[in-house]
Amino acid sequence: MPQGQPSVVPDDGLTTRQRRHRPLVIVHTGIGKGKSTAAFGLALRAWNQGWPIGVFQFVKSAKWKVGEERALRVLGDSGEGGTVAWHKMGEGWSWVQRDAQMDNAEKAREGWEQVKRDLAAETYRLYVLDEFAYPMHWGWVDTDEVVEVLRGRPGTQHVVITGRNAPEKLVACADLVTDMSKVKHPMDAGQKGQRGIEW
Amino acid sequence: MPQGQPSVVPDDGLTTRQRRHRPLVIVHTGIGKGKSTAAFGLALRAWNQGWPIGVFQFVKSAKWKVGEERALRVLGDSGEGGTVAWHKMGEGWSWVQRDAQMDNAEKAREGWEQVKRDLAAETYRLYVLDEFAYPMHWGWVDTDEVVEVLRGRPGTQHVVITGRNAPEKLVACADLVTDMSKVKHPMDAGQKGQRGIEW
């Protein structure tokens, strides 16, 4: 809950108001829990503002984020806040017909191509690129290109990227970076993940 | 996304299934962003499971968590998942009539007394005690008592506590602890908080 006066007032020619409303690149990284849940918690604030939200899940998972997905779909369809579009890799990015023949690296790249198109078209005001740090870390998607596209994106589009091992260049370009550090996890005490908590 | 085999299998007489479903005490602490947003993201999973959710906001704030509150109220009223009860300190814990005459320490203690009653009655399955680390850190609420109550709570009740400076005794009693570390924040670059992001 940071409030009050910033410690530095940059000489960037912007008014405080203009500077306040600059769009953000936000990164949640680290080995602890909470990277994705915090991104979806942020989406609740965006929804409340009436912003169109685009979620892109970049790593195929047996559990996905079923709770968050259902909740955000119900919110998006409620007619009370913003809209929510939810895209999943591996179940087929909805715009890719030939998904079955593609390997995961190709699928990730297709997803990124769609994000690029949406950013250029200003489709959403908040993008949740869930687990997108992995395809960059694995070299499937070029971090330099991601940084260039983020830097050049038009309008007011906030982008949240989650995942361990966020590349340094991404961190350098981001406005807000939180490292979720594991202090303690039930797995360390022999307890496996459970519904309602892990998914 | 921790999955697979735990590194330790304790000799606690529980089956893997029993151990998996043990209720958790979860703490989100540290000076970085994401402590509360991750707690509310977790609430989406609980909602999806149909669990009754109790939110207790322990620190009065000009902005509160308006986005999360509205989103969770809409979800709770949708009839599709769990219910949501939302309690705010300072706007009056709903059960306290004499709120106006109380100082913040008293209000925090009243809130904790209500949490104790709800835990004893098993009112909720997920408790979000937002910013509750502060009243413990400030000595308004006795950490030893909190730990004792949490250890002795009946049934299957998960409790998430957020806030900086989580007391060591609380961390010691918790099952899952994440420290949100600040790597970078827009305030450092002279940018103040904005709607949709900070609230």
Which of A44, A61, A74 comes nearest B80 by C-beta? A74
Element (H, E) at A130: strand A126-130
Return the pLDDT at A13.
79
Q: What CA–CA distance (Å, rounded) separates A65 from A144?
A: 28
Task: Name the minimum distance, in Å, from the CA of B161 to any CA of chain A.
Answer: 13
Which residue do the tokens 């999943």 mark?
A: A88
Nearest-CA neighbor of A25 among A133, A139, A101? A133
Which residues lie closer than 8 Å to B39 by C-beta, 6 or more apart?
A: A37, A41, B26, B28, B128, B130, B160, B162
Which of B27, B30, B45 comes nearest A199 by C-beta? B45
Phi-psi sector, A115: left (phi>0), alpha (psi -120 to 50), beta: alpha
Return the pLDDT at A28.
97
Choose the most confident range, by mean pLDDT, from A3-12, A157-166, B10-19: A157-166
Higher pLDDT, A4 or A10: A10
Task: Name the minimum distance, in Å, from the CA of B94 to any CA of chain A.
Answer: 24
Element (H, E) at B41: helix B35-48
pLDDT digits (tens, 9 = 90+) for A83-142: 999 998 866 554 444 555 568 888 899 999 999 999 999 999 999 999 999 999 999 999
Residue of chain A nearest B125, judged by CA positions: A196
Does A197 sit within 8 Å of B175, measured CB to CB?
Answer: no
Return the pLDDT at B94.
45
Does A174 sit within 8 Å of B184, measured CB to CB?
Answer: yes
Candidates B19, B33, B130, partner chain A, best to mutate (most A CBs within 10 A)? B33
Rounded to an integer, the average pLDDT of B58-69 is 82
Give contacts of B186 with chain A, Cβ < 8 Å.
Answer: 22, 24, 175-176
The ipTM assigned to this model is: 0.86
pLDDT digits (tens, 9 = 90+) for B72-91: 999 999 999 999 999 988 66
Does B32 sit within 8 Å of A48, measured CB to CB?
Answer: no
Return the pLDDT at A91.
61
Return the pLDDT at B95.
46
Higher pLDDT, A90 or B27: B27
Residue of chain B nearest A175, judged by CA positions: B186
Domain B20-181, architecture per CATH: 3-Layer(aba) Sandwich (3.40)
Q: Phi, psi (5° rounding) for residue A177?
A: -130, 125
Residue A30 · residue A179 · CB < 8 Å: yes
Residue B141 · residue B108 · CB < 8 Å: yes
Which residue do the tokens 């004792």 mark?
A: B148
Count chain A–chain B contacts defined by CB atoms under 8 A.
Answer: 263
Q: Is B139 exposed, middle or buried (0-12, 13-18, 19+ CB in 10 A)?
A: exposed
Give contacts of A179 with chain B, Cβ < 8 Å.
Answer: 32, 180-181, 183
Which residues lie closer than 8 Å to B38 by C-beta, 6 or more apart?
A: A33, A34, A37, A38, A41, A180, B28, B178, B180
Torsion of CA A144, A85, B178, B25, to 10 degrees: -170
**Partner residues linked to B84 by β-bridges:** B53
Residue A10: band (very low, low, confident or very high) from pLDDT cuts 50, 70, 90: confident
Rounded to an integer, the average pLDDT of A66-88 is 95
Which of A24, A61, A125 comes nearest B186 by C-beta? A24
Give contacts of A9 with chain B, Cβ < 8 Å.
Answer: 190
Task: Name the minimum distance, in Å, from the CA of B66 to any CA of chain A.
Answer: 8
Give contacts of A48 with chain B, Cβ < 8 Å.
Answer: 66-68, 70-71, 196
Residue B2: band (very low, low, confident or very high) from pLDDT cuts 50, 70, 90: very low
Mean pLDDT of chain A: 89
Give contacts of B168 with chain A, Cβ < 8 Å.
Answer: none
Question: Looking at chain B, how many residues does it have?
Answer: 199
- What residues does each domain of chain B span? 20-181
Does A46 sit within 8 Å of B41, measured CB to CB?
Answer: no
Rounded to an integer, the average pLDDT of B97-121 is 84
Return the pLDDT at A35.
96
Q: What CA–CA distance (Å, rounded) separates A172 from A101?
A: 35
Does A194 sit within 8 Å of B176, measured CB to CB?
Answer: no
DSSP calls for B103-140: -HHHHHHHHHHHHHHHHHHT--SEEEEETTHHHHHTTS
pLDDT digits (tens, 9 = 90+) for B148-190: 999 999 999 999 999 999 999 999 999 999 999 999 888 888 8
Which of B28, B30, B49 comes nearest A196 by C-beta? B49
Q: Phi, psi (5° rounding) for residue A10?
A: -75, 155
Rounded to an integer, the average pLDDT of A36-63 is 92
Which residues lie closer than 8 Å to B32 by C-beta, 6 or more apart?
A: A178, A179, B179, B180, B181, B182, B183, B185
Q: What CA–CA distance (Å, rounded) separates A192 from B139?
A: 34
Nearest-CA neighbor of A173 among A193, A138, A149? A149
Rounded to an integer, the average pLDDT of B114-118 is 96
Task: Name the minimum distance, in Å, from the CA of B31 to any CA of chain A.
Answer: 9
Question: Percent of chain A at pLDDT above 90?
Answer: 66
Element (H, E) at A148: helix A143-151
Residue A69 · residue B73 · CB < 8 Å: no
In what order do the strands lie in the sheet containing A158-162? A84-88, A53-57, A126-130, A158-162, A25-29, A176-184, B176-184, B25-29, B158-162, B126-130, B53-57, B84-88
Residue of chain A nearest B48, judged by CA positions: A67
Which of B171, B192, B199 comes nearest A20 by C-beta? B192
Rounded to an integer, the average pLDDT of B104-118 is 92
Residue A1: band (very low, low, confident or very high) from pLDDT cuts 50, 70, 90: very low
Does A32 sit within 8 Å of B37, measured CB to CB?
Answer: no
